[in-house]
A = this chain, B = another copy of it.
Amino acid sequence: MPVLPPGYSIRRLQARDFEDVVETLKVLTVVGDVTRTQFEETLAYWKSVTLKVGAHSVPTYNPHVVVNAGGRVVATGTVLIERKIIRNCGLVGHVEDIAVAKDQQGKQLGLLLIQYLTDLAHETGCYKVILDCDEKNVGFYEKCGYRRCGVEMDHRL
């Protein structure tokens, strides 16, 4: 069983993570000129959206980070929880935007974060958790306990 390196931990994304998270996400794709204000507004929006599960109110957006012993964000990822009608008004978790800082790869931080987010989604009551990935990453996600189940398609203007 892989474990986090000494001093590393996983926690929710916080406003003070702005610079680290933007830097980490650049490994994944174009982030653009996101300002601190836009970042904080997005965090506040994410926090405001909740879901009723039984008697509890749980967050719909669950952005998390891996921080190293010095408190620096070294990986990030989210699980978004969707309420459906199918499957007895079931819940589905969508794992999104997994990124690991370039100098931190090879420590299994991505795998540990994905397992964390997947467990969180199941504990919230999701009957399944899904994610989309490149063909070249299928083997990695299989190591995280996922299996290939379909094709992702996109539409862009």
Give how many A residues have a beta carbon under 8 Å from the other chain's beta carbons. Answer: 62
Contact A85 B25 (CB under 8 A): yes
For the complex, is A116 an interface residue (Cβ under 8 Å from B)? no
Oligomer: number of copies: 2
> Which label, helix, strand, loop or mixed, suits the secondary structure of the A interface?
mixed
**Residue ID in chain B nearest A152 by CB atoms:** B150
Asked whether A30 and B86 contact (CB < 8 A) given A45-B52, A156-B127, the answer is yes
For the complex, is A42 an interface residue (Cβ under 8 Å from B)? yes
Nearest-neighbour CB distance to chain B for A117, whole angstroms, equals 10
Asked whether A31 and B94 contact (CB < 8 A) given A132-B130, A150-B152, A154-B149, the answer is no
Contact A154 B138 (CB under 8 A): no
Asked whether A45 and B118 contact (CB < 8 A) given A88-B34, A134-B151, A151-B132, the answer is no
